[in-house]
Structures are given as C-alpha cells and as structure tokens.
Amino acid sequence: MEEQDIAFKLILFGDGGVGKTTLVERFMTGLFKEHTQMTIGADFHRKRLKVEGKNVTLQIWDFAGEERFRYLFPGYIKGASGGIFMYDITRYITIRNLESWLEVIDMGLKGEKQFPIVMAGGKADLFEKRSVDNNEAYELATEKKFYAFVECSAKTGENVEDIFQSIARIMMQNAGLI
C-alpha cells in the first residue's frame, strides 16, 4: 500500500519580473523558458516530490508581483504552510520592497502565526550585473528570521531544486512530520 501524500500550500511572492514564474517552470519541468507571460493574479501549480522518504505534494501559488494585483494577495495567504520571497539580484528595488510584501502577508494572516519563509535571490547567472550584495541579502534574511537564504538561477538550474526541497523540509518539521 502506498504511503499517503502530505500536502502543503506554498506561496511564491515578490516584485514583478524577478523570475518567480521561470523559477516555478524550471522546478516543474526542468526547462527554462526565456519569455514568459506576466502573471495575472495568481497561477497554481502542483508537484509531488520525496522529502526525507515521504511523499510531499507542494501546492505552489505563484503571485503576480505588480502593484495593481497586490490587493488580491492577502486573500490567498490563508492556509499557507510556507513561502518563498524572491528578488532579482540585478535590481536593488526588488529587495527593498520586502517590507511592503511582509505587510501584505500580515494583513492576510490576520493575527495567525507567521509561516516559514525562504528568501531567494533570482538571476544569479547575471552576477556581473549584480546590484544586491550577497552579504546584505543574507543579513536581511537573518534579521527577518527567514529560515533560509539562497541565490538561484532558473536559466542554469542552480539551486532551483534545493529551494523547494528546503522549504518542503522546513514545512514538514513545523508540522512535526520529521
């Protein structure tokens, strides 16, 4: 008899154009899409993986990063077990906007306990265009008590699988499953 899946709702958030959709696409298919459509509202994906020998299904909610869609975000947060905040290492404003994203999350939580968040710096393959210092990002993630910080590249695949494996493991630990 097959072991039952453990399902977690995972939200992916950050400014528009940071690479959230390409990160999810790379994770889902193993492929990099050079040109993706702008996310309108939210996209939903589901992927099953093995973590610590257990079957885990991630229900991934990829949220639009444009300001005009941000009012929708609090309504989708309920029931989330974890989050990935993504910024673009080549655009400093995308990490500076973290505080406003956390305010939106607080509105959605309505006093519930904060779920674990991993901070991901996208477009690591564009290191020569870097405008966000790696140490500064790490310190910010530590200050905000995020569970992990990693830089990644959907283009090369660098650390993509690791991000999702890490947050899945953290959500399992928080649920007392490992």
Summarize pLDDT for 155-171 with one digit per residue, the tens: 999 999 999 999 999 99
Continuous segment of H or E residues that includes residue 117 = strand 117-122
Q: Would you kindly state where each structural domain of the chain is located, as residue ranges?
A: 6-174
Summarize pLDDT for 143-154 with one digit per residue, the tens: 999 999 999 999
Supply the pTM of this predicted model.
0.90
Q: Outline where DSSP puts E strands in 14-99.
A: 42-51, 54-63, 82-88
CATH of segment(s) 6-174 = 3.40.50.300
